[in-house]
A and B are shown apart, each in its own frame.
Chain A
Amino acid sequence: MNTVKLTPSQTVGPFFSHALTWLDGPDVVAEDAPGAIWLRGRVFDGAGEPVPDALIESWQADPDGRFDHPDDPRGAVPGFRGYGRSATDDDGRWGIRTLLPGRVPGVDGRLQAPHVDLSVFARGLLDRVVTRVYFADQPSNSDDAVLSALPADRRSTLIAPRSADGYTFDIRLQGERETVFFSL
């Protein structure tokens, strides 16, 4: 039970990019980090138009499936930021440079497939929407508990295909192939 009342969410609005973007925002890892990949995509609205005023934030484990965070019961592994943020450009494009995450235990202790949590903020979104990126060439996708629980026809919206320099993950806020969003 909540003993106090939570603060409600409000939209990030259209005029945030001068405040919430950082020069190194997209750099979860440095350019010369061994194994660096680009996770890139576009954000589309229900009319199929690109969303030019969205903010994408990412959170993920390091390649060993560990977090630089005091609540990782296996002990924090310092050095991997794990977090990226990228505003979309006029064509709705975003991108972060990162490493492929390792496998992280799920609530039942079974390992999950490698994934990156994403938050999407935008004008017109009164609360963030949350999704997860999975990677197309990972065999463990087939027995991931979260992916397996989704209807087969929607599961593919979370699976990022390979691209020239990493993986591609487009986000469709509405429409025929609306991305699966999660409630936390």
Chain B
Amino acid sequence: MIIGYQRDPGGTHPPLASPGYGSTVLRAPTQEPVLLPHTLTEVTGPVLGEGRVLPTDHDLTRQHDGEPLGERIIVHGRVLDSDGRAVPDTLVELWQANSAGRYAHVRDQHPAPLDPNFTGVGRCLTDSTGRYRFVTIKPGAYPWRNHENAWRATHLHFSLFGRAFVQRLVTQMYFPGDPLFHQDPIYLAVPEAARSRMISSFDLSETVPEWALAFRFDIFLRGREQTPMEHQ
């Protein structure tokens, strides 16, 4: 018996063709996607993690000899499915710009300093209740060439596997109250009612006194269908 996954309800994801984000123009497919049934290939997926996550991988401030510059923050939350069930033991990948708004990536030419103590790459596994936790530095805003005087809203990139190919998700986490939202076409490409789901909340209860602010970001992946599909 194969139990499929719920299809994404409309109004969740940004349309691929979102011309306000210039790079979509030559890259977004133009043909309607074909509905793929959820067979075993789609309801299974890579079970990654063991041997991939080192003890320091969740703490982006301790990956070098010295401490990175910037505002230290804790980013934590749970990975859940759309029925509210925890997604345990799943790989969470995070990457981001440094506090000056520069990625440690060879193609990033933004004239802001690199930080020799910050790579901006983290990974961890969720625990048995779907919880994850990173320690990092608040990234800086940075300009891009999408339109006149364009700046990306401050964000962290997240990559999630869930437990099935259909649950794979790459998204971005934003910070509450960012003044750059209104001019960021990547953020604005998401249907308005769904945008707030990408914004973390300030979390005083997890904030560590005299050490670091905490932000909470829960991530919801698709859940399973209730009715099993027939399978001989």
Interfacial residues, chain A to chain B (CB-CB below 8 A): 2-20, 22, 45-47, 49, 51, 53, 57, 59-61, 67-73, 81-83, 104-109, 112, 115, 117, 119, 121-130, 132, 145-146, 149-150, 154, 173-174, 178-184
Q: Which of B166-206 contact A (CB under 8 A)?
A: 166, 168-172, 186-187, 189-191, 194-195, 197-198
Main secondary structure, interface of B, reads loop
- For A10, A16, A180, A181, the residue with the greatest tally of chain B CB atoms inside 10 Å of its CB is A10
Q: A8 and B46: CB pair below 8 A?
A: no
Interfacial residues, chain B to chain A (CB-CB below 8 A): 1-2, 4-9, 12-16, 18, 21, 23-31, 33-48, 52, 80, 82-84, 93-95, 97, 103-108, 119-121, 155, 157, 159, 163-166, 168-172, 186-187, 189-191, 194-195, 197-198, 219-223, 229-232
Q: B120 contacts which chain A residues (CB < 8 A)?
A: 19
Q: B34 contacts which chain A residues (CB < 8 A)?
A: 149-150, 180-183
Q: A71-B163, A129-B29, A174-B27 given as contacts; is B197 within 8 A of A8 (CB)?
A: yes
What's the nearest-Cβ distance from chain A to residue B67, in Å?
20
- Report the 3 A-B pairs with minimum CB-CB distance, sorted nearest first: A124-B23, A109-B232, A19-B95
Q: How many A-B residue pairs have CB under 8 A?
A: 254
Closest residue of B by beta carbon distance from A130: B36
A108 to B159, CA, bound (A): 32
Q: B186 and A126: CB pair below 8 A?
A: yes
- For B31, B44, B52, B219, the residue with the greatest tally of chain A CB atoms inside 10 Å of its CB is B44
A60 to B97, CA, bound (A): 33
Q: A83 and B36: CB pair below 8 A?
A: no
What's the nearest-Cβ distance from chain B to residue A14, in Å?
6
Q: A7 and B221: CB pair below 8 A?
A: yes
Q: A67-B44, A127-B14, A184-B42 given as contacts; is B24 within 8 A of A12 (CB)?
A: no
Q: B39 and A105: CB pair below 8 A?
A: yes
Q: A7, A14, A104: which contacts B107 (Cβ < 8 A)?
A: A14
A49 to B26, CA, bound (A): 9
Q: A7, A72, A82, A129: which contacts B220 (Cβ < 8 A)?
A: A7
- For B18, B34, B230, the residue with the greatest tally of chain A CB atoms inside 10 Å of its CB is B34
Q: B104 contacts which chain A residues (CB < 8 A)?
A: 18
Q: B220 and A126: CB pair below 8 A?
A: no
What's the nearest-Cβ distance from chain A to residue B205, in Å?
21
Q: B36 and A124: CB pair below 8 A?
A: no
A24 to B8, CA, bound (A): 32
What's the nearest-Cβ distance from chain A to residue B91, in Å?
11
Q: A117 contacts which chain B residues (CB < 8 A)?
A: 41-42, 165
Q: B186 and A10: CB pair below 8 A?
A: yes
What's the nearest-Cβ distance from chain B to residue A40, in Å?
20
Q: A71-B164, A107-B231, A117-B41 given as contacts; is B157 within 8 A of A12 (CB)?
A: yes
Q: A15 contacts which chain B residues (CB < 8 A)?
A: 95, 97, 103, 105, 107-108
